[in-house]
Amino acid sequence: MKSRIAILPGDGIGPEVMNEALKVLDIISQKSGIKFDFEKGLVGASAIDEYGEPFPDQTRSICDKSDAILFGAIGDPKYDNDPKAKVRPEDGLLEMRKYLELFANIRPVKTYEALVDFSPIKKNIISGTNFVVFRELTGGIYFGEKGISDDRSNAFDTCSYHINEIERISHLAFKEAQKRNKKLTLIDKANVLATSRLWREVVQNISKNYPDVTVSSLFVDNASMKIITSPKDFDVILTENMFGDIITDEASVITGSLGMLPSASVGHNISLYEPIHGSYPQAAGKGIANPMAMILSVSMMLSHSFNLLRESELIERSVDEALQNSIVTVDINKENNFSTSYVGDWITNKLVELY
């Protein structure tokens, strides 16, 4: 078996965490006999530097030829502080999501027993949390019409959703709920937004096809409180693009660090796997970034795109072992911590041992 994987390290800490992910994939390849063909591409600020655009044709064609995409992170502060920048690294990620039709972003949130004391939230509240967020990824306010007046006194962003965009991700979320604890929570702002009211209507209709799944809805402001006060109440969360972006950063606090959360962005043909943490430019080049979310994204890739369930589980167990042995980076433990590559090597060695 041969599998082509596009490697897009991106910006900031992306290349560093990607290195560790590649170590893990090397071991999987050696042990399983599967040959992975890697092709590297530039995306984000690094692509702007080289080609003048954040998702250049070269990278697009690498993605087109691949069976799956591993992506690090995107973003550079020099663009964040320039509201007039003509081109932005983040546009590369958005273009890529749209071009590949990666409409469902799946973000699992669970606590690791070894980390419950590192979260700022009380142990009894977070211990045993296990839910997954289905975030719509190619619609809503991210992709609606936007603009600014010539005199820069007025700007607008439009949020719009077509019923088809809501339906396709809803079906995925309901199917996942059926495999889990059969609870689905729609997060919206239906007391204010027309798009949210459409989401409610569509989800209520679809729910008739999944009678075994209990559906509830929460307004996003209330939900963001409940995620922190009673995270164990959630099983599958379904939500639109921007609400999903915000609540998943919030939910990462439960796990102890933003550096722990992997994600899969699923489309009709190809899927992309990325940590949710972003480029974290302050840490870039220092060897302190947490590689676990990236490594866990590899695990998601192996199970979702290549059906390598055992390998995927072994990676998760290796990460778990690292946590239990306090082999963690500074984001998790301020006093006792290890470098990015040390943690990556440790997990890789553990994987060899468990295989």
Binding site for Mg ion (CB under 5 A): 245
C-alpha torsion angle, residues 290, 55, 95, 175 (rounded to 10): -50
Residue with Cβ nearer Mg ion (248 or 348):
248
What is the maximum alpha-carbon separation in the chain?
A: 63
142 assigned to active site: yes
In the complex, the smallest distance separating the C-beta of residue 114 from ligand IPM, rounded to whole angstroms, is 25
Dist CA 114 CA 256 (whole Å): 10
Alpha-carbon span 147 to 342, nearest angstrom:
46
3-state secondary structure of 57: helix
At residue 89, what are phi and psi to the nearest 5 degrees? -55, -40
Between 107 and 350, name the residue whose CB sits nearer to Mg ion: 107
Q: Which of 142, 210, 273, 280 is catalytic?
A: 142
**Count, residues near ligand IPM per rule CB under 6 A:** 7
Closest approach, Cβ 231 to ligand IPM, in A, equals 19
Q: Exposed, middle or buried, 57 (CB in 10 Å: 0-12/13-18/19+)?
A: exposed
Query: Could you tell me the smallest distance in angstroms from the CB atom of residue 276 to Mg ion?
Result: 6
Nearer to ligand IPM among residue 263 and residue 318 (C-beta):
263
What minimum distance in Å lies between the beta carbon of 265 and ligand IPM?
9
- Find the binder of ligand IPM among 74, 104, 159, 272 (CB under 6 A): 74
**In angstroms, rounded to a whole number, what is the distance separating the alpha carbons of residues 90 and 95?**
9
To the query of whether residue 249 is one of the catalytic residues in this protein, the response is yes
CA–CA distance, 231 with 131 (Å, rounded to integer):
8
Q: What are the distances in angstroms from CA 183 to CA 105, 125, 207, 239, 240?
A: 18, 19, 11, 14, 18
Q: State which of residues 7, 42, 93, 206 lies at the interface with ligand IPM (CB under 6 A).
A: 93
Contact 35, 29 (CB under 8 A): yes
Tokens encoding 35: 């040959």
Interaction between residue 90 and ligand IPM (CB under 6 A): yes
278 near ligand IPM (CB under 6 A): yes
276 binding ligand IPM? (CB under 6 A): yes
Residue with Cβ nearer ligand IPM (277 or 350): 277
**Sign of the torsion angle spanned by Cα atoms 222, 225, 228, 230:** negative
74 binds, among ligand IPM, Mg ion, none (CB under 5 to 8 A by kind): ligand IPM
User: In angstroms, what is the minimal distance from the CB of 133 to ligand IPM?
Assistant: 11
> Which pair of tokens denotes residue 329?
């980076």
Q: What is the dihedral of CA 19, 23, 25, 28, to 10 degrees?
A: -170
Contact pattern from residue 220 through residue 259 relative to ligand IPM, giving x for each residue in contact according to CB under 6 A and a dash for the rest: -------------------------x--------------
Residue of 65, 82, 221, 286 marked catalytic: 221
Decide if 86 is catalytic: no
Distance (Å, rounded) from C-alpha 129 to C-alpha 110? 5
Looking only at the bridges linking them, the beta strands covering 155-157 and 146-148 are antiparallel
Which of 347, 315, 298, 275 lies closest to 72, judged by CA? 275
Closest-approach residue to Mg ion (CB): 245
Token pair listed for 106: 């799946």
Report, in Å, the least distance between residue 45 CB and ligand IPM: 11
Structure tokens given for 107: 């973000």
Give the one entry of Mg ion, ligand IPM, none that residue 93 binds, where binding means its C-beta sits below a cut-off of 5 to 8 angstroms depending on kind. Answer: ligand IPM
User: By CB under 6 A, is residue 75 in contact with ligand IPM?
Assistant: yes
Minimum Å gap between C-beta 231 and Mg ion is: 18
Nearer to ligand IPM, 23 or 97 (CB): 97
Annotated catalytic, 189?
Answer: yes
- Cβ-based nearer residue to ligand IPM, 265 or 312: 265
Respond yes or no: is residue 331 known to be catalytic: no
Active site residues: 142, 189, 221, 245, 249
Question: Interface with ligand IPM by CB under 6 A: which residues?
Answer: 74-75, 90, 93, 245, 276, 278
